[in-house]
Amino acid sequence: TSRWELAEDGRWTRHHRDAEGEPLTDLQTAMIETHLKRRRKAITRFDGLRARPLPPDELLATSAVLSIHVPLSKHTHHLIDERALSLMKRTAYLVNVARGPVVDEAALARALRDRRIAGAGLDVFEHEPQVHPDLLGLENVVLVPHIGSATVETRTAMARLAVDNCLAILRGEKPLTPV
């Protein structure tokens, strides 16, 4: 069983078309849809976007942009590895805003250096806060320091949640979001 085979039928990825008709792939959307499907709850909100399930190899081979939004688990660790990168188009871009270890950064650095993919954008890193040294200095990668959630609204909500957790503990209750 490959780590791509998380759904019963082995297809938990989705393709969408962006405004210019290029395939845009969002791994999280498909995982959520698969989870709901397993619970026999049908959703159709992506019909208007012409979303469709694809086998993993086809997904990798046809995506213009692979945007990663999956949780880190034993199934998703190094989900994007040397093999996955080798299947991507030379014109493809990889964006990881999920968890760093979902992408094998050493393999990604080689793929970027050798121009096997066009570029990458990383908001998270495999060994945060360290960035793989082979990624530094590459012109076809954008590295940002885990700031994808750096909006006033999101940070305010995070602060409120922290306070609510503290207040719950002080009242002798369980925290809302234990870690």
- Known catalytic residues? 99, 128, 146
Q: Per the omega criterion (within 30 degrees of 0), is the bond before 101 cis? A: no
Backbone phi and psi for residue 143, each to the nearest 5 degrees, phi listed first: -115, 125
Q: Which residues pair with 150 in a beta bridge?
A: none
- Bridging pattern class, strands 23-26 and 52-54: unpaired
Q: Which residues pair with 53 in a beta bridge?
A: 14
Give residue 103's identity as a one-letter amino acid code: V
H or E, element range at 154? helix 152-170
- Bridging pattern class, strands 23-26 and 13-17: antiparallel
| Cα distance between residue 96 and residue 172, in whole Å | 39
| Cα distance between residue 111 and residue 120, in whole Å | 10
